[in-house]
Amino acid sequence: MTSLTAEELKTAYRQMRTIRDFEERVHDEFAKGDIPGFVHLYAGEEASAVGICTHLEDQDRIASTHRGHGHCIAKGVDPIGMMAEIYGRETGTCKGKGGSMHIADLDRGMLGANGIVGGGPPLICGVGLYHRMRKTRGVGVTFFGDGGSNQGTTLESMNLATVWELPVIFVVENNGYAESTSSEWSVSCDSYVDRAAGFGMPGVTVDGMDFFAVYEAAGEAIERARNGGGPTLLEVKLNRFFGHFEGDAQTYRSKDEVKMLRENRDCLKIFRAKVTQAGLLSDADLDAIDTEVAALIDDAVKQAEGAPFPSEDALLTDVYVSYM
Amino acid sequence: MVEVDPNKTLGIIANPLSSRDVRRVVSSATTITAVERANILERILLVLGGLGLKRVMMMPDRSGLCAQLLRNLRSRARVSGSPLPGVEFVDMDVSSSSLDSRRAAQRMREAGVNALVVLGGDGTHRDVASASGDIPIACISTGTNNAFPAFHEATTVGMALGVALSRQHAGFAVIEPNKRIVVRRGEEMLDRALVDVAVTREQWIGSRAVWDPASLAQVFLAFCEPSALGMSSIGSACDLVARQDSRGLAVELHPMQAAPTIEGDRNTRPPINGTAPARIAAVPLTPGRLFAVGIARSWTLELNQSHCINYRGGVLALDGEREIECRADAEYSVCLDFDGPKTLNIPLTMQAASEGRIFSTQPADTLLEASALQ
């Protein structure tokens, strides 16, 4: 039986709200043309990142995807640095040289967003091996999408994690579309739990619109990994509110689909309804968080816009790491 | 010889989501893959196609199950040329939730389907039963903790369905009524369970499954068989109630602080209030695990009598899945009745078919003589 205190519930809501506001704001600012590069937004999928990362500690590592902002925030990366990073400014998490798809913060256990589809799973096997050999009780969590699930790297990693009994969690964030291709057309036997079973690994499907469903299932899988039980696959069924990337005309789905999702399948609305009906938090508690987060995101954008770009002589720094 | 009436239609509701929940992590629950589910359906359709079935209506899905079945059937038709029924899909939106099974059952009933085959666990069967009316259901377990459907070989399920859908031998089909437990808030009917309603101390529906006995306050059971898993096993520790008995069972659990598992003693803790439960029973709440459950008392649940739930708040679990988050200010009640779905008893139908020799093409006495000669 799982339960959360009022403070824990507020923290979870604050993180989900921060992700949502961050992404909505990036969407608006990107449309103005001030943000360089590509951005892929996580709005709509917040319950997955937060439901899972709430169980993680600093020594635990996550490997993310091209749609990485939500994972970063949920793992504790500073949204002000992230916004500056996306704007390509010197004050950014990676000194403005990485941008949206390469935000990494090793101090917080965030190994990086990743432009390579299926790039996270092999990295997380390395993390798993480290924790297993050092007996740290730490775990690694890798996120990938329904598109990434078809990559050889993902399948090879699932095999490796199973035979080496690594403390890792494979999280398929299944939003139903690999870029613009519906998983109905691109994934044979598209139950990911079945794929896990094929490797001899337990697999669980959860409703990614319900924070509590993700939180409970992830908690059991992570605890199992910490105790030496080996890897688990978690399929989180969710929806993205924006296109694959900003600028995606989304001709592969109807406008009504997103409207319906925002009305009926919004994890923040569902969270609010559940905790207020159960009397765990009040609307006023949640409204206060909304106000606080809105101010934080405003501040992040202001700071990013006012920050300098990296200087030319920084071009060749931070490219290679010296291990000596 | 059994011949399926060519005007009859079989409905298929195969839930691609059953056996996918967290019990694969917290216990060693089964995973029946979509490929295996498609294989089960293929076997049923091969048998029924051979017996003359022409038309099948099926619930669509977005998990690859229908696609896999169609691939199998195309391949089978190309390779062997076996007669196969045409498969039509119900024209409906797919939500990839339990709503699909309910919606499909409703549409099939409206379309006049003559029999249903359902693949899933207790939850799927509950969903189908909400709309199946008097249509007989052949139940096949592909879920997690199944007390309602049993495991059956698809080939003989196909034969039993052939009997139920036949022109001249439908009378050999053994079709049984079932009990159900209706859950009400005040006067309003919220839902119904086929096997059990558990009152839990959980705060939310969350990942749905119930596997922690410490969260259980009360369990209401339509029947409890000694070989079943889940809530039903708590009932079997007190009393056995058959599916066709005109009564059910209610059990009040002892509020132990944390239930020790029988596997090891690392979780053993004393009861919360110092008074011992009447009994501590070892019950298989989830696959592969025996849990210690403190039982305070049990009593008979009479048919058609409303029983008030005397626990405020919490979450009600129906057939092992958390479904209803209770409001602290409302009255909830349960009522056992015999208005559950109609089910095709596969073993009894096959027994009747065997005794009646309805799968034989020769007169019975000729067959007897032939076997006597050997």
The per-residue pLDDT for range A41-58, each reduced to its tens digit, is 999 999 999 999 999 999
* Average pLDDT value for residue range B128-133: 95
Judged against a pLDDT cut of 90, whether residue A163 lies above it is answered with yes
Decide if A88 contacts A101 (C-beta within 8 A): no
CA distance A107 to B74: 55
Q: What is the pLDDT of residues B322-341, one digit of tens each?
A: 999 998 889 999 999 999 99
- Residue bearing the bigger pLDDT, B370 or A165: A165
Strands (E), B214-288: 216-221, 247-253, 279-286
Is B34–A191 a contact, with Cβ atoms under 8 angstroms apart? yes
Looking at A9-23, A157-171, B79-93, which range is the least confident one? B79-93
- Amino acid present at B161: L
Q: Which of B15, B19, B24, B286 to mutate to test the interface with A (most CBs of A within 10 A)?
A: B24
SS3 call for A142: strand
Q: What is the pLDDT of residues B132-171, one digit of tens each?
A: 999 999 999 987 778 899 999 999 999 999 999 999 999 9
CA distances from A64 to A55, A67, A105, A143 (A): 16, 7, 12, 5
- Residue bearing the bigger pLDDT, A204 or A147: A204
Residues 208-267 in A contacting B (C-alpha not used; CB under 8 Å): 210, 212-213, 215-217, 220-221, 224, 232, 235, 237
Per-residue confidence band for B363, with pLDDT thresholds at 50, 70 and 90: low
Alpha helices in chain A (DSSP H): 6-32, 46-53, 69-74, 79-86, 120-134, 152-163, 183-186, 192-199, 211-226, 255-264, 267-277, 283-306
Looking at A13-17, A180-184, B261-265, which range is the least confident one? B261-265
For chain B, give the percent of residues with pLDDT over 90: 64
Q: Residues of A with CB below 8 A from B211's CB?
A: none
- Amino acid present at A189: C
Looking at A69-73, A302-306, B72-76, which range is the least confident one? B72-76
Neighbouring-strand partners of residue A302 = none
| Candidates A1, A204, A279; nearest CB to B214 | A1
Q: Which of A184, A191, A223 to mutate to test the interface with B (most CBs of B within 10 A)?
A: A191
Per-residue confidence band for A190, with pLDDT thresholds at 50, 70 and 90: low
Q: Measure CA of the first residue to CA of the last residue in chain B; give whole Å.
A: 23
Q: ipTM score here?
A: 0.79
What is the structure's pLDDT at A216? 95
Averaged pLDDT score across all residues of chain A: 93
Distance between A196 CA and the closest CA of chain B, angstroms: 10
Q: Residues of B with CB below 8 A from A194's CB?
A: 31, 33-35
What is the structure's pLDDT at B268? 43
Judged against a pLDDT cut of 50, whether residue B266 lies above it is answered with no
Decide if B18 contacts B121 (C-beta within 8 A): yes
At residue A293, φ and ψ (nearest 5 deg) are: -70, -40
Q: What is the pLDDT of residues B20-39, one digit of tens each?
A: 888 888 888 888 888 899 99
Is A183–B24 a contact, with Cβ atoms under 8 angstroms apart? no
Model pTM score? 0.87
Averaged pLDDT score across all residues of chain B: 89
CA distance A13 to B260: 33
Per-residue confidence band for B277, with pLDDT thresholds at 50, 70 and 90: confident
| Candidates B67, B207, B214; nearest CB to A216 | B207
Judged against a pLDDT cut of 60, whether residue A224 lies above it is answered with yes
Q: Residues of A with CB below 8 A from B64's CB?
A: 184, 187-191
Q: B224: closest CA among B236, B215, B213, B214?
A: B236
Per-residue confidence band for B260, with pLDDT thresholds at 50, 70 and 90: very low
Judged against a pLDDT cut of 80, whether residue B365 lies above it is answered with no
Judged against a pLDDT cut of 50, whether residue B308 lies above it is answered with yes
For chain A, give the percent of residues with pLDDT over 90: 76
Q: What is the pLDDT of residues B196-207, one digit of tens each?
A: 999 999 988 998
Judged against a pLDDT cut of 70, whether residue B369 lies above it is answered with no
Tell me the HSE value of B196 on the side-chain side, using a 13 A CA sphere.
35
Judged against a pLDDT cut of 90, whether residue A319 lies above it is answered with no
Looking at A54-68, A240-254, B230-244, B348-362, which range is the least confident one? A240-254
What is the structure's pLDDT at B10? 98
Looking at A198-212, B17-31, B43-57, which range is the least confident one? B17-31
Decide if B282 contacts B262 (C-beta within 8 A): yes
Judged against a pLDDT cut of 60, whether residue B105 lies above it is answered with yes
| Candidates A190, A216, A221; nearest CB to B63 | A190
Is B325–A274 a contact, with Cβ atoms under 8 angstroms apart? yes
